[in-house]
Amino acid sequence: MAKNELSPMAKSLWALAITQGVLAILFGTLALFWPGLTVALLVVMFGVFILVWGIVGLIVSLSSIGSNKFWWLELIFSVLAIGLSVYMLRNPEVTAGIFVFFIGITFLVRGVVDILEGLFDKDEATDKRWLHGIVGALGVIAGIITLSHPVTAGVAIVWVIGLYAVLYGALVIAFAFREQNALKK
């Protein structure tokens, strides 16, 4: 199989990536422009966001077995994200107390996964590896900021979450269109 050839399933997955990106941008926009959200609503919104993120990642990782040597890394993150989101959605009152910690850890782990893919996936084009690195760096920075200032950050945490989600969503959409264009070649 050529480098730019994708499986028939992968051809249809680009729409899922677009959906994930749009949901991330919508979530981020709400967080940026409606920072007065109640903690319970934000916990539920973030829980749904992480659930969709995990499900899309799970589908992508399983469909890329054999074509992406880091499928297992995406699979591990996706399973952890799904587990975290289920916990958040089932226990919103408990989660509210440790919400900032969950957000920071999620961003940090996702950032590390993206950086590792960018650094070590020599089969990918250089521009895609750089995009993985940029997204990963944003995740690590967002995670560190969120974990460093859990109490005092207040509205800033909501803004960091929102900004990260908007940037992440835009880059996911860019990835999806890049892959779609590669399919047309």
Residue 174 pLDDT more than 60?
A: yes
Q: Are 24 and 13 in contact (CB under 8 A)?
A: no
Whether 113 is covered by a domain: the verdict is yes
Task: Tell whether 1 is covered by a domain.
Answer: no
| pLDDT of residue 148 exceeding 90 | no
Q: Give the residue among 73, 18, 17, 27 at the shortest CA–CA distance from 48.
A: 27
Residue 13 binned pLDDT confidence (cut-offs 50, 70, 90): confident
For residue 58, give every residue at least 6 positions away whose Cβ sits within 8 Å of its Cβ, in sequence order, or none.
75, 78, 79, 82
pLDDT of residue 32: 82
Residue 94 and residue 129 in contact, taking contact as beta carbons nearer than 8 Å: no
What is the average pLDDT score of the chain? 82
Residues comprising the chain, all counted: 185
In this prediction, residues 116-120 reach a mean pLDDT of: 88
Domain extent for 176: 10-184
Would 55 be classed as within a structural domain? yes
Q: Which carries the bigger pLDDT value, residue 35 or residue 107?
A: 107
Domains in the chain: how many in total?
A: 1
Quick check: is 3 in a domain? no
